[in-house]
Amino acid sequence: AEEQLQQCTLVAPRDGMLVYYVPEGNRFGRGLWAVAAGETVREGQKLVRVVGLKQFALAARVHESQVAAVRVGQAAQVRVDAFPDKLLRGKVTRVAAVASVTDWLVTDVKVYPVTIAIEDPPEGLKPDMSGEVQLATGEHKGVLQVPRTALVGAGRERACFVRSGQELYERKVVTGVSNATAVEVTDGLKEGDLVVTDLALLLRP
């Protein structure tokens, strides 16, 4: 018993912070796992990990419809919830070749794990903090764009409402690339056109 007790002493292999080890699947709410007094453990089970505080990476999940545009080496912008006013720079270091499901109850939604290394991490950044990342998959300069909320329709049949004086006119448009907030318009509008960005608000009595 005394020999077994001596083997329970763990020595940190490097400087850093000691955190509980959480299996990958449990990080997204699947399964039950806890470290507590009286819990049964097995030989070889991971209980804790020593995390360095000099280099950080963000683990993101990209939907299968977008992962084809993600490449190793792409620039990224990272915003950590604990530092909402700081925009951090990052770079994609790994794109998984195999998809993982978001939830065991929803097996038809697949995402690909993507790792983004954070450059020049700020003081106070800690392991397991939450954040969001924006990946630069392309750049279009000198294009005409409108907010996504200004467009109606789907697929190639897209239109928006343009104001001329006191009248509104429906205008069919041809769209190009898009991001989370805006859509490129390649035909149907010209710079300076006044477009309605909130049709629901406009139609309220």
Q: Are 17 and 126 in contact (CB under 8 A)?
A: yes
CB burial readout 43-74, b (16+ within 10 A) else e? eeeeeeeeeeeeebebebebeeeebeebeeeb
Residue linked to tokens 């190009």: 176
Q: Which of 68, 52, 192, 183 is nearest to 137 (CA)?
A: 68
Judge whether residue 163 has pLDDT over 60. Answer: yes
Report strand pairing: 100-103 vs 106-119.
Answer: antiparallel
Share of the chain above pLDDT 70, in %: 87
Q: Quote the pLDDT of residue 116.
A: 94
User: In this predicted model, what pLDDT tens digit does every residue of 181-196 receive, in sequence order?
Assistant: 889 999 999 999 999 9
- Average per-residue pLDDT for the chain: 83
Is residue 165 scored above 80 in pLDDT?
Answer: yes
Contact 64, 108 (CB under 8 A): no
Query: Which tens digits make up the pLDDT trace of 66-122?
Result: 888 899 999 999 999 989 889 999 999 999 998 886 655 556 678 899 999 999 888
Distances 35 to 19, 89, 129, 150 between C-alpha atoms, Å: 11, 34, 19, 51
Q: Is the pLDDT of residue 24 over 70?
A: no
pTM: 0.59
